[in-house]
Amino acid sequence: MKKFFSFSILMGLMFTTISACAQGGGDASKKPSPPAKATETIASGATITIDYSSPSLKGRTIGKDVEPKKGQVWRAGANDATVFEVSKDVTIEGKTLPAGKYSFFTLDNGDDYTLIFNKTAKQWGAFSYKQADDALRVNVKPGKSDTSVEKLTYTISKAGVVTLAWGTLKVDFRVK
């Protein structure tokens, strides 16, 4: 009886583990906001990597139906907060950011955007964001693109220009 009981528990644990793995698996690229990455080594020799989840507009309006919304800190992507990593100390819009990993947020102020590099690199969305943990904040003027970009996209040029593009929103900043 004791062996049967132990066997039953073991089989139950195996079934639970297999079920959990099956539910958690799947192709991440087929998620509504799939993971994406932009990486570039810029002229100064620093490597910039941006890990983010890329939401789609799906007919929604930025600022009304989806983030970024004026006056609210945005995780600059979907799911986990966007992670901005630099391999060397850099300057962003003339201000120093030490080498390391940071969560990256934006704040739409209306006329400009505050770019926020937060020391807590791993966090879910902007729900646990704490301004006291900011490593750097810089302000930049947003632009408008002539064509709409369906999926949030980051690009990094060799010259160190980082671009966030979504819908007709275009936010550029310089990294040296």
What is the distance between the alpha carbons of residues 123 and 96, in angstroms, rounded to a whole number? 23
What is the distance between the alpha carbons of residues 33 and 152, in angstroms, rounded to a whole number? 9
140 in any annotated domain: yes
Using alpha carbons, list the distances in angstroms from residue 134 to 105, 152, 174: 10, 24, 19
82: containing domain = 28-174
Share of the chain above pLDDT 90, in %: 76
DSSP codes of every residue in 120-160: --S-BTTTT--GGGEEEEEEE--EEEEEEEEEEEEEE-TT-
18 in any annotated domain: no
pLDDT given at position 124: 82
148 in any annotated domain: yes
pLDDT given at position 128: 85
What is the distance between the alpha carbons of residues 58 and 81, in angstroms, rounded to a whole number? 21
156 in any annotated domain: yes
What is the distance between the alpha carbons of residues 80 and 121, in angstroms, rounded to a whole number? 10
Count of domains observed in the chain? 1
What is the distance between the alpha carbons of residues 172 and 165, in angstroms, rounded to a whole number? 9
12 in any annotated domain: no
Q: pLDDT confidence of 173, banded at 50, 70, 90?
A: very high
95 in any annotated domain: yes
List pLDDT tens digits, range 121-145.
998 877 889 999 999 999 999 999 9
pLDDT given at position 56: 95
The CB density around residue 23, as the number of other CB atoms within 10 Å, is: 8
Sign (positive or negative) of CA dihedral 122, 111, 59, 64: positive
pLDDT given at position 3: 56
List pLDDT tens digits, range 32-66.
899 999 999 999 999 999 999 999 999 999 999 99
User: What pTM, to 2 d.p., does this model score?
Assistant: 0.82
15 in any annotated domain: no
pLDDT given at position 14: 44
List pLDDT tens digits, range 67-93.
899 999 999 999 999 999 999 999 999
What's the number of CA atoms in the CB half-sphere (13 Å) around residue 108?
A: 19
